[in-house]
């Protein structure tokens, strides 16, 4: 049976995975992530917080500014998520009146 020359794992538990694979006899190397990859995960967490009704508006504004000022991929998507969170608040409160 043919196996791939290398396998890519994306995990939060890298050290645990590394230890297990090395005990099985595999060579494990960590590849650095380029600064030009995608918008940071913490940026998307801020954008997701924008969906908290009313209290999320500042998070939405921060996500929009962060996304539009980012040179990383998906920066515009980040801004769009922040804007959607603000729109969600506007729709929720407009439904009350």
pTM: 0.57
Question: How many C-beta atoms lie closer than 10 Å to residue 14's C-beta?
Answer: 12
Would you state the structure tokens that stand for residue 38, as one six-digit string? 């995608």
Q: Is the predicted pLDDT of residue 23 greater than 90, yes or no?
A: yes
Q: Where exactly are the structural domains of the chain?
A: 14-94
Tell me the CA distances in angstroms from 83 to 40, 65, 66, 95, one per residue in order.
Answer: 18, 10, 12, 18
In tens, the pLDDT along 41-90 reads: 778 888 889 999 888 999 999 999 988 887 777 788 889 999 999 999 99
Residue 86 has what pLDDT? 93
């Amino acid at each position: 049976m043919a196996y791939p020359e290398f396998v890519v794992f994306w995990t939060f538990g890298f050290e645990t995975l590394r230890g297990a694979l090395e005990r099985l006899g595999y060579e494990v190397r960590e590849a650095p992530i380029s600064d030009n990859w995608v918008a940071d995960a913490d940026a998307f967490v801020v954008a997701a917080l924008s969906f908290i009704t009313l209290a999320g508006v500042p998070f939405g504004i921060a996500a929009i500014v962060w996304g539009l000022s980012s040179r990383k991929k998906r920066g515009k998507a980040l801004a769009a998520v922040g804007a959607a969170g603000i729109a969600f608040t506007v729709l929720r409160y407009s439904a009350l009146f």
